């Protein structure tokens, strides 16, 4: 008898729909493994884009010599980004995001913002060891999140991970030093990916989508270090 819960067997799917206000609609599905949240390459029915063998653009890439054909992040995001070739990054778009937990609709956003929200999921589920640290946040994905929302979710996720370490007898990091290090490394990754995209792409849409992610990576350490006090009053009941 199969006693598994349905959620443990059903893939996690995020459905992004881009309405470009020109009777042009693009639909994408991002399918993830139900337990590991690993990206499924064949999800969405997009044709793969040829990627140069041996392409690993990031400095100090930890999987460059692992036997993989090329960077899995680039291989996975390229078919999605290719769908937006020739479009302006500042074009306005209505984007809707549907998952088994919620339906989110943004009436007007820039194309680069909407793409950034979508490829952020793919990047952290593609198997890059550095980006893997953000993968738990994908299960409770918050589309088009603000800097404060992202900071709160990132800190909460990191502290939950430290609690899990502590109950397993591992040394926890309650000072968030590791979180700041994670985001500084991600800042370098975003920079390397955007440099590669500038050489590979003829428009700025894909590059700007990565730059938006890079803005979050830059601002989060500063927010943790300088602005964390803004939440202190909200947590007053815990501080008595």
Q: Answer yes or no: are the C-beta atoms of 111 and 43 closer than 8 Å.
A: no
41-100 tens-digit pLDDT: 655 567 878 888 999 999 899 999 999 999 999 999 888 888 887 777 778 889 999 998
Within 10 Å of residue 56's Cβ, how many Cβ atoms? Answer: 19
Nearest to 71 by CA among 52, 47, 96, 93: 52
- Rounded-to-integer distance, Cα 59 and Cα 185, Å: 10
Question: Which tokens is 236 given?
Answer: 């007053």
Residue 211's Cβ-side half-sphere holds a number of Cα atoms within 13 Å equal to 11
- pLDDT at position 110, please? 82
- DSSP letter at 227 equals I
Q: What is the pTM of this model?
A: 0.85
Q: Answer yes or no: are the C-beta atoms of 187 and 218 closer than 8 Å.
A: yes
- pLDDT at position 3, please? 41
- Rounded-to-integer distance, Cα 142 and Cα 146, Å: 9
94-125 tens-digit pLDDT: 999 999 888 988 878 888 888 888 988 999 99
202-218 tens-digit pLDDT: 556 666 666 666 666 66
Give me the residue spans of the domains in the chain: 6-239
- Among all chains, which residue has been given the structure tokens 């999605």? 80
171-186 tens-digit pLDDT: 999 999 999 899 889 8
Within 10 Å of residue 151's Cβ, how many Cβ atoms? Answer: 24
> Is residue 50 left, alpha or beta, with left meaning phi > 0 and alpha meaning psi from -120 to 50?
beta
């Amino acid at each position: 008898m199969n006693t598994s819960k349905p959620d443990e067997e059903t893939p996690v799917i995020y459905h992004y729909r881009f309405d470009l206000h020109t009777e042009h609609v693009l639909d994408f599905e991002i399918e993830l493994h139900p337990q590991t949240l690993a990206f499924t390459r064949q999800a969405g029915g997009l044709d793969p884009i040829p990627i140069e063998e041996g392409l690993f653009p990031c400095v100090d890439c930890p999987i460059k010599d692992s036997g993989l054909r090329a960077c899995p992040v680039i291989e996975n995001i390229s078919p999605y980004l290719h769908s937006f070739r020739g479009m302006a990054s500042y074009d306005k778009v209505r984007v809707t995001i549907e998952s088994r937990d919620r339906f989110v609709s943004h009436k007007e956003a820039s194309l680069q913002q909407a793409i950034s929200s979508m490829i952020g999921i793919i990047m952290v589920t593609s198997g890059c060891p550095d980006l893997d640290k953000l993968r738990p946040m994908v299960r409770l994905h918050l589309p088009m999140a603000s800097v404060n929302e992202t900071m709160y979710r990132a800190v909460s996720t990191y502290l939950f991970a430290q609690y899990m370490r502590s109950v397993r007898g591992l040394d926890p990091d309650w000072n968030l030093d590791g979180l700041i290090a994670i985001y500084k490394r991600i800042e370098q990754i975003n920079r390397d990916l955007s440099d590669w995209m500038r050489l590979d792409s003829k428009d700025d849409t894909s590059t700007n989508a990565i730059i938006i992610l890079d803005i979050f990576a830059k601002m989060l350490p500063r927010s943790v270090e300088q602005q964390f006090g803004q939440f202190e009053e909200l947590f007053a009941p815990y501080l008595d």
